[in-house]
Amino acid sequence: MKQTVVIDNGTGYTKMGYAGGEVPLFTIPTVLAYRSGLGGAIADDFVIGSDALSVSARTHAISYPVRNGQIQSWDIIERYWEKCFFEYLRSDTEDAYVLLTEPPYNTPENRETTAEIMFETFDVSGIYIGVQAVFSLIAAWSGAGKGRLTGTVVDSGDGVTHVVPVVDGYVVESAIQSVPVAGREATLFVQQLLRERGVDAPLELARSVKEHETYVCGSVLDEFGKYESHREMFRTATVGGRTLELGYEQFMAAEAVLNPEIRQKTPMLSLAEVVDQAVQKCPIDTRRVLYGNIVLSGGTTMFRGFRERLEKEVDKIVQGRLSSTAEIDPVEVRIAPSANQKHGVWSGASLFGSMDVFPSYCTTREEYKEHGAGVCRQSKVFMDRF
């Protein structure tokens, strides 16, 4: 049986491995460093991931091929995939299927270009391109023993936060909501707060503080009050080999995601309001199950207390609306706990790619040769139950 390579290219990190694994074999930064060769072409000694971040900017150009979830440079991402396949995964692409994830609103033209690269450059046996939110549902619900692929996915990585309603495996495209705030914005906020107290805080240090020393509070005003009246709330911690005094950034980092308005110059809805808005744009007969099956996905949803706070705020909005209407039956708002939250997209894709039926959903090399790249403008929707 052919192997299936699973790659999830995010703005900040790329996760890759083989179908059937619970977690990716490699998680590396989505970045490439290169020196220009003849005619400005990328020289063959380019590097990706952490290696790219460690080279000198004086000798190499640094490129981030994915921005806000979308591929920005096809030349760069093609070379990036080359390293993923041959250096990291040691894959024989001619005898492998490839499963790639995509953000909501990915264009048919992008799918065609992806297909051209996969078949023309890497000569893969077949490809499947699937929406990240659907894979998050597969990961969360297979672990919970549930089978219907219906739910509202809140996917927040490094560059963007998407709220994506999915009904029976179909993305409700007209209801998708995007917020241009995610993990990187939270990191920058931590950096700003540290520097305001006179701490020399490079971006990597701020990121480490965000990932290991932060939490979500119940009320920002109450938390500020606690810090003012109890100075012991300011604490000392060793982060990245440095000893730091940590203060408001411990709880304010997550607020950059939950309440994006605090970091933006224009009015913005809270994340809870965005979730509610997404569900309200769906057909009325689907809303109850969409509120009751909210799934979190991505590293930025991993803040301690994030799930409880978001669930409480969405519930407050929903119950407030019901109290002013003639609605009789209660609506339950529930964010499902998930063991695969951080790697949800990749884990769900891995599970799908390991199933016996997976090859039948792929576009094969033969189909591509017969019909061209246009055959990949849409992927078959996976309707089997989990």
Across 88-92, 172-176, 191-195, 382-386, least confident range? 382-386
Residue 300 token pair: 């930025």
Measure Cα distances from 177 to 254, 296, 299, 302 in Å: 19, 15, 19, 20
What value does the mean pLDDT take over residues 155-171? 93
Same domain? For 142 and 252 the reply is no
Across 36-45, 135-144, 303-312, least confident range? 36-45
- Checking if the pLDDT of 45 tops 60, the result is yes
What value does the mean pLDDT take over residues 338-364? 93
Residue 263: what are its φ and ψ, rounded to 5°?
A: -110, 0
Domain containing 256 equals 183-262
pLDDT > 70: what percent of the chain?
A: 94
CB-CB contact of 158 with 13 (8 Å): yes
d(CA 230, CA 246) in angstroms, rounded, equals 14
For residue 233, name the pLDDT band (cuts at 50, 70, 90). confident
Number of domains in the chain: 3
The tens digit of pLDDT for each residue in 142-154 reads: 655 555 689 999 9
Q: According to the model, what pLDDT value does residue 24 have?
A: 97
CB-CB contact of 1 with 359 (8 Å): no
CB-CB contact of 125 with 1 (8 Å): no
What value does the mean pLDDT take over residues 106-129? 97
For residue 105, name the pLDDT band (cuts at 50, 70, 90). confident
The tens digit of pLDDT for each residue in 290-332 reads: 999 999 999 999 999 999 999 999 999 999 988 776 656 789 9
Same domain? For 85 and 71 the reply is yes
Q: How much is the pTM? A: 0.90
The domain spanning residue 315 has which CATH number?
3.30.420.40
Q: Is residue 84 part of a domain?
A: yes
Q: Is residue 231 part of a domain?
A: yes
Mean pLDDT of the chain: 91
The tens digit of pLDDT for each residue in 182-200 reads: 999 999 999 999 999 999 9
Q: Is residue 158 part of a domain?
A: yes
Out of 262, 295, 316, pick the residue that ends a domain.
262
- Checking if the pLDDT of 140 tops 90, the result is no
